[in-house]
Structure 1
Amino acid sequence: MNRARLRAALGAVVLVSTALVAPVVGTAPAVATTSSTLPACQKITAETTNDRLVNGKFAVEVSPDFLQITETQPMWGSKGYDSWSTGTWFRNDPTGRYQSNTDRTYLALHCNGDLALRRSNGYLLWHSNTANRGVVRAQISQWGNLLLLNASGSVVWQSGTLATGMAAGAILPSGGKLVSRWGDHQGTPVQTLTMQPDGNLVHRSGTTVKWQSNTRVAGSVAGMSSTARLFVRSPQGTILWASPCAAGTSYSVAWLHPEEVSITDWGNGIKSGWSSAYGC
């Protein structure tokens, strides 16, 4: 079973800036769905079998009037395999006018190097503004970052996204971070959970520190236990901090919400565990 938890209904997000209308640049044929790369002059299209780019746990998915990056984390336990999914970044019609359930919206990397989300009639919903900058391909990386690359492989534009959650058994290394940019273009601050090299695990909303573990052993790592506890562990193996709530199951994930980090356990129904904002 796969319990998808996408953090916003496609028709529920309404933005306030102004959409653009522009002609379609070049002809964009479909690209195979199994690819992680979209070459210049090609596209992926909603409501078809060619509607996404995939690389491991991450996918760029186009649906009617909506583009998103999704993350899927596998979960294992006594009940076998399960998975958890969420969105990490999205773009849609900034006016809120277009919220179709059927339009064959497409994401095209135009021949001029501009990545554009367009309705089936060519109406521009969003674009990367990278025309004539040498972009030859779009790619979703194994870390969940959508990249526009030139012929030498240098990054011209990026979404700046990474994983937004840790399933049971996962480790966040020293210097590593979780990132959620869901709603960033609407003014929602970017959420990060960083395992700092100094050993402090810190949640920030934008640049504001919202929570920290107050641990200070350099080189420490963070992780999720098989009992649904987030922890910080020193290089010597000492647990310096652990979320204090009751133990749960291995079908659990610690993930970034707007303004908080929280643990959700799907082992016996859906149960909320520790939250950086509300505790147990």
Structure 2
Amino acid sequence: MRISRRSLKLKALMSATAVATALSVAALASPTASAETGTTGASSYVRSAAEHHRLSAAAKAFDGGIPQAPASLTACNNIKSSAQIPLLVSTNESYAFVVTPGAAMVLQDLRLPNAADYGDLALPTWVVFNGSTSWEDDTMLALYCNGDLAVRAQSGALIWHSNTAGKGGKKVTISNSGNIVMTNAAGAVVWQSGSRAEALTANHILPSNQFLQFWAYGVGEGTQQTRLSMYTNGDLAFSVNGKVVWHSKTKVPGSHAALTTRGQLMVISPAGKLQWSSKNGGGSLNTAFDTSSGTIFVADDDGTPIWQVPGTNLGEVG
């Protein structure tokens, strides 16, 4: 298989077995629904606080277990979930594109400096899956010679594809912002996933005109997209499948959002004046906002949730 390779130091990444253990394919297909948002199907992929813990434990168990990882996948080649290194890694080592039994996903590495065993968490930002696929399935991520990127079960059954056959795609990489990018022989972009960061860690900001996003597609389950958006008009909003389900009602153009070391989500004007706050506490530098569930959680044994976007119920938080 012709794949360029590079050194891997990302502690949060794990083998296909570990990802499968942390993210139950059976759980993906469970019909968790939200009365507030009306979401079903792929919404069941949203992770609970306990799953954050399992991801962290799996990442720790496989820390240092993968000496090298591919940087790109070229046409006429594939990566299987049974491979020793079933993933692509961004050059900044913050994102990986991983294939697991029945699924493929982009993982974001959250680096929390004082969280000890939970200092590196790997959170999915973009996922395609088939909940009926066997745990032992040798699922394949392939960039076919015709330029189509596809995820297929061992039987050959299609889970997802980019629908880019005949468009000249020659190479797939995962960018430093978490975007899956397909380019042609000249280096021009043929297709991209649009995936990006889904989580914001304490002491970091979400600038004006930027957003966090989680996206999932399940065979027979449909698609779910959740976003936390900082609009240019100064309003911070949370949306599910394009519908705003909550917003801060702030109106100072150019404002940014920030997650404090107390675990509070805030909107701050360009002049530095507080416009809105979640008003909770109990956080630390080990706190993050998870867009898939709309919660602020602490990286500890329980993945303790300390705030949730009002009016949402995207999954268990306790």
**Per the shorter chain, which TM-score range?**
0.7 to 0.9
Question: Equivalent residue for 1:164?
Answer: 198
Pick 1 or 2: higher relative contact order, CA cutoff 8 A, min separation 6. Answer: 2
Does the 8 Å CA contact 1:190/1:205 hold for their aligned counterparts? yes
Residue 72 of structure 1 corresponds to 109
Instruction: Specify the alignment match of 1:276 in structure 2.
Output: 309
Between 6-15 and 117-126, report the one with greater CA deviation.
6-15
Specify the alignment match of 2:45 in structure 1: none
Q: 2:148 aligns with which of 103, 114, 117?
A: 114
CA distance in structure 2 between the partners assigned to 1:229 and 1:204 by the alignment? 19
Question: 1:216 corresponds to which residue?
Answer: 251
Query: Number of residue pairs matched?
Result: 260
- The DSSP-based 3-state class of the residue aligned with 2:69 is coil
Question: Which residues of 2 match residues 132-211 of structure 1 at below 5 A?
Answer: 132-183=166-217, 186-211=221-246
Look up the match of 2:5: none
CA distance in 2, matches of 1:127, 1:255: 27
Contact 2:115–2:299 (CA under 8 A) maintained in structure 1 = no
What TM-score comes out, normalization by structure 2 length? 0.72
Structure 1 residue ranges (4+ consecutive) displaced by more than 4 angstroms after TM superposition = 1-8, 78-81
Aligned to 2:267: 232
Mapped partners of 1:193, 1:110: distance in 2:
35
Determine what percentage of the aligned residue pairs are the same residue: 31
Residue of 92, 95, 98 corresponding to 1:61: 98
Structure having the higher strand fraction is 1
TM-score when normalising by structure 1: 0.81
CA distance in 1 between counterparts of 2:229 and 2:243 reads 13
User: Structure 1 residues 49 and 8 mapped into 2: Cα distance closer, same or farther (>3 Å)?
Assistant: closer
Q: Which runs of 5+ in 2 are unaligned?
A: 1-10, 31-40, 42-66, 313-318
Task: Give the 3-state SS of the residue equivalent to 1:12 in structure 2.
Answer: helix
Contact 1:168 1:228 in 2 (8 A): yes
Match of 2:286 in 1: 251
Q: For the pair shown, which has the larger CA radius of gyration, 1 or 2? A: 1
Matches of 2:181 and 2:166 in 1, distance apart? 16
CA drift of 1:207 comes to: 2.5
> What is aligned with 2:276?
241
